[in-house]
Amino acid sequence: MPEGALDGVLVADFSRVLAGPLAAMTLGDLGADVVKVERPEGGDDTRHWGPPWTERGSAYYLGLNRNKRSIALDLADAGDRELARRLATRADVVLESFRPGTMARFGLDYDTVAAANPGVVYCSVTAFGAHDRPGYDLLLQAMGGLMSVTGEEDGRPLKVGSAVVDLVCGLYAAVAVLAALRARAADPDGCGQRVEVTLMLAALAALLNQGSAYLLAGVVGRRLGNRHPSVAPYSTYTAADGPFAVGAGNDGLFARLCAAIGREDLVADPRYATNGERRAHLDALDAELDATFATRPAAEWVDALTAAGVPAGPINDVAAAYAMAEEIGLRPAVEIDGLRLAATPFRMERTPPAVRRAPPGLGEHDAELRAWLMDAG
């Protein structure tokens, strides 16, 4: 049995920071051999992003670069550039996240690589596609509409607390690469293809129902705090000792909620008979719910609602979230070489994802990779 679903797939990872490295790491978790190409002076930007720092470097970098080997290549140097070309022409997948035109200057663009390696799946991750404008997750959350729907109704726009656009972009890149590999396998000539993923389109995709509300109904979303634009009750509520979350996504769940908290009168109120009516009278409904929830601690309400089959939960910090996942048997973290890393968030029965290599030091595998590439012809 192969070590992973992508055992035997070689990935040349020229990307840096988040979206590209995340896509490459996902392929690595699935069994691909990922060679991370970094500049000799400093390597990937995230090696220098901290705090927090560990004895092995930046926690940011370590969280995005397991299951890779690192080679330091100066693409401005003719000799190193030739090694990069050899790597690209042997790879099944090339991932890059430079600004448009950069790879062409080094002779590593899709057309040049595909001429020598027609089976290559060549994935470019950019901020705005051919439009040569730099972008980080913060800017894309702002420009892509996410900030406009995140934050309190009367407050300023806020970004999500993690780099959600980079996350979505990296996962879309991995999905597209996997689909292109499947198409190559089915092609009689084994031809690969160019794959392009942009942070801007990823940001728009991440709008989900907010995006479809605009496209299909012309409704421009706005900040609603923790409320939902279409569903009620679906928010955070304040118990005697602090807030907790409740999501009653249909009329049946609302009836269960009301029974669990001793407020059957709310079900009988015509203002709350349907989801549409509840959403139209949300201020009044939330006031009723908060008044009841204020009488007991959050944990008691969470237990009562969960027992009734109503989705409810505490507002965990990161440590509590990992602890909760551990408690319910989800195994959210893995350890390798003394490092505790986030587990791959999916399971596969026959070819399970695995962490086989710790995140590499800059140029850690230079000797073996240079020797291999010198023999690559």
Q: Which two tokens stand for residue 260?
A: 């669990």
269 noted as active-site residue: no
Among 179, 175, 160, 281, CA closest to 226: 160
Which H, E and C letters describe the chain, residue by residue? CCCCCCCCCEEEECCCCCHHHHHHHHHHHCCCEEEEEECCCCCCHHHHCCCCEECCEEHHHHCCCCCEEEEECCCCCHHHHHHHHHHHHHCCEEEECCCCCHHHHCCCCHHHHHHHCCCCEEEEEECCCCCCCCCCHHHHHHHCCCHHHCCCCCCCCCCCCCCHHHHHHHHHHHHHHHHHHHHHHHCCCCCCEEEEEEHHHHHHHHCCHHHHHHHHHCCCCCCCCCCCCCCCCEEEEEECCEEEEEECCCHHHHHHHHHHCCCHHHHHCHHHCCHHHHHHCHHHHHHHHHHHHCCCCHHHHHHHHHHCCCCEEECCCHHHHHHHHHHCCCCCEEEECCEEEECCCCCCCCCCCCCCCCCCCCCCCHHHHHHHHHCCC
Q: How far is CA 83 from CA 24, 79, 313, 377, in A?
A: 20, 7, 53, 10
Q: What is the C-alpha to C-alpha distance for residues 343 and 221, in angstroms, rounded to an integer?
A: 34
Q: Which distant-in-sequence residues (6+ apart) come within 8 Å of 335 by Cβ? A: 341
Active-site hit among 166, 189, 290, 303: 166
Q: Which two tokens stand for residue 224?
A: 């609603």
Catalytic residues: 166
